[in-house]
Structure 1
Amino acid sequence: MIAHPNGTISTEVSDFLLNCLVRSSSWNFWLSLFLSFLFLLAMGANGVLLVTIWLEVSLHEPMYYLLSILSLLDIVVCLTVIPKVLAIFWFDFKSISFYACFLQMYIMNCFLAMESCTFMVMAYDRYVAICHPLRYPSVITDQFVAKAAVFILARNGILTVPIPILSSRLHYCGKNVIENCICASMSVSKLSCDDITINRLYQFAV
């Protein structure tokens, strides 16, 4: 319980409810069916790609290592989001605990940022291959990919930590329904009774 200066008392929120904004049960069925297909397709395609690159020695090249990183990131994002959304559609399990919500928020922000950085490295890889083909073997090496992977992991792993921390330190004393299928930072923070200007600015900066 929290006592406010105006004399009112409110109860702290201990969990959230995810509202996917789908009211019709028939829409729930078709959306869940389509989402299940996309989930299986994404997991299968990424799994096949990873196994193929791992088993085929001729694919042990920097470009394919980058594709492997992208596949791993995609798998993590899919596993973080889609099973919970399907649970909402199939079993109406809208509730998500306070800490699970902020963990999902961190993983989403971190791994989506990692995907963006990986695309940038892949774009640089193609730029060197097309514009400087003779220098490509000496510029894009296994060491380059390893350093890029460490940088991507460190940069995004560290910079996205404050996002869930800032959100979790807010006081949630009113509505606990998130108008989203996932624990997106701004969707959660705007439910708070506190000022979220710092949260907005940091999210924008990152």
Structure 2
Amino acid sequence: MTAHLNETTSIAVSDFLLNCFVRSTSWQHWLSLPLSLLFLLAMGANGILLITIRLEASLHEPMYYLLSLLSLLDIMLCLTVIPKVLAMLWFDLRSISFSACFLQMFIMNCFLAMESCTFMVMAYDRYVAICHPL
């Protein structure tokens, strides 16, 4: 990607600089605490859900397979963005390369679409179970 200045000079842009919503460094550590706790809670809850569905034989049904897929998608979405935000807040690492930014946006868009499709399949499964029982 190149940026053109005055029609004669071009500069190759390889990194983006991410600006956080907080300019004060003292607030960054306080804001990272709830974010890291929510990250750990999401990872732990999704992990427990996956382990429970895997180990309990009575939960080996289609709806629980969809719930485990939803849990996996949630783990992937959390692992895509939150570590970079925490690195920004803790270590002041604000730059991200163009390829890393593109990959992060691609993963986010793909997994959000997959999550929406999973919700749609779950809703259709409940519709069929309620309106057209076997």
* TM-score when normalising by structure 2: 0.92
Task: Report the equivalent of 2:36.
Answer: 36
SS of residue matched to 2:23 = coil
After the TM superposition, which residues 1-206 of structure 1 pair with which residues of structure 2 at under 5 Å, given as runs?
Answer: 7-134=7-134
Task: Indicate conservation of the 8 Å contact 2:49/2:68, yes or no.
Answer: yes
Task: Report the equivalent of 1:162.
Answer: none
The aligned amino acid for 2:50 is L
Cα distance in structure 2, aligned partners of 1:42 and 1:126: 25
Task: Indicate conservation of the 8 Å contact 1:2/1:9, yes or no.
Answer: no
Residues paired across the two proteins, number: 134
Cα distance in structure 1, aligned partners of 2:121 and 2:57: 22
The aligned amino acid for 1:126 is R
CA root-mean-square deviation: 2.0
- When residues 63 and 4 of structure 1 are mapped into structure 2, their CA distance, relative to the original with a 3 A threshold, is closer
SS of residue matched to 1:11 = strand
Following superposition, the deviation at residue 53 of structure 1 comes to 0.4
Cα distance in structure 2, aligned partners of 1:33 and 1:114: 30
User: Where do 4+ consecutive residues of structure 1 move more than 4 Å?
Assistant: 1-6
- When residues 4 and 79 of structure 1 are mapped into structure 2, their CA distance, relative to the original with a 3 A threshold, is closer
**What residue ranges of structure 1 are gaps of 5+ in the alignment?**
135-206
Following superposition, the deviation at residue 13 of structure 1 comes to 0.3
Q: Normalized per residue, which structure has more helix?
A: 2
Task: Indicate conservation of the 8 Å contact 2:3/2:12, yes or no.
Answer: no
**What residue ranges of structure 2 are gaps of 5+ in the alignment?**
none
* TM-score when normalising by structure 1: 0.61
- When residues 100 and 133 of structure 1 are mapped into structure 2, their CA distance, relative to the original with a 3 A threshold, is same
SS of residue matched to 2:17 = strand
Cα distance in structure 2, aligned partners of 1:81 and 1:72: 15
- When residues 80 and 131 of structure 1 are mapped into structure 2, their CA distance, relative to the original with a 3 A threshold, is same
The aligned amino acid for 1:74 is D
The aligned amino acid for 2:12 is E
Task: Indicate conservation of the 8 Å contact 2:3/2:11, yes or no.
Answer: no
Following superposition, the deviation at residue 54 of structure 1 comes to 0.4
Following superposition, the deviation at residue 2 of structure 1 comes to 6.3
Task: Indicate conservation of the 8 Å contact 1:19/1:94, yes or no.
Answer: yes
Cα distance in structure 2, aligned partners of 1:4 and 1:58: 62
Q: Normalized per residue, which structure has more strand?
A: 2
